[in-house]
Amino acid sequence: MRKDLVHLTRRYWFSASHRLHNPVLPDGENQQIYGKCNNPGGHGHNYFVEVTVAGPVDSRTGMVVNLAELDAFAQTQILDRFDETSLNELPNFESSVPTTENLCVEIYRIFQAGWSQLPSARQARLERVRLEETSSNFFEYRGESPAPHL
């Protein structure tokens, strides 16, 4: 029997600061590109991150993924890593600018790299990471070769 494919989305949040500055560019150009986000003291956001898992519903459990597993992974790998930090100081951003675009891709990669720690999601895939920087700005990443967007 064909199994139904369901997308489950869980939402988390953390607070962090960043400064958008690319050391390979001259100061003037950094100011021109990043404007007030280039302010040397940095500034912060409450980031809301949504993680979407797509997969068949396990007929024994009724679940796409065990939420307790997903929450525990998000807590240790995302929230504990990024919450109340200055993103520029983290190893994740040693060689990239901590724009919300790059942070979104980084969170996707962390989930993908740790997927084996979610045994209940063995039949499922990471569908999307959506990251809100403010209520007006958000970014989505679906990996390098995403499934067709519905």
Report the interface residues with other proteins, using CB under 8 A: 2-12, 52, 54-57, 59-64, 66-68, 95-96, 109-110, 112-116, 121-126, 144, 147-148, 150
Give all strands (DSSP E) within the chain, no chain letters. Answer: 5-18, 43-56, 85-86, 125-134, 137-141
Q: Which is nearer to other proteins, 16 or 65 (CB)?
A: 65
Beta bridge partners of 44: 17
Rounded to a whole number of angstroms, the minimum distance from the CB of residue 41 to other proteins is 25
Rounded to a whole number of angstroms, the minimum distance from the CB of residue 44 to other proteins is 21
Based on C-alpha coordinates, what's the Rg of the chain? 17
Cβ 15 vs Cβ 47: under 8 Å: yes
| Dihedral angle over CA of 36, 41, 43, 44, nearest 10 | 160
Q: Which is nearer to other proteins, 16 or 121 (CB)?
A: 121
Rounded to a whole number of angstroms, the minimum distance from the CB of residue 60 to other proteins is 4
Between CA 83 and CA 32 the distance in angstroms is 29
Rounded to a whole number of angstroms, the minimum distance from the CB of residue 15 to other proteins is 16
Cβ 144 vs Cβ 138: under 8 Å: no
Rounded to a whole number of angstroms, the minimum distance from the CB of residue 36 to other proteins is 25
Which helix (H) or strand (E) segment holds residue 32: the answer is helix 27-34
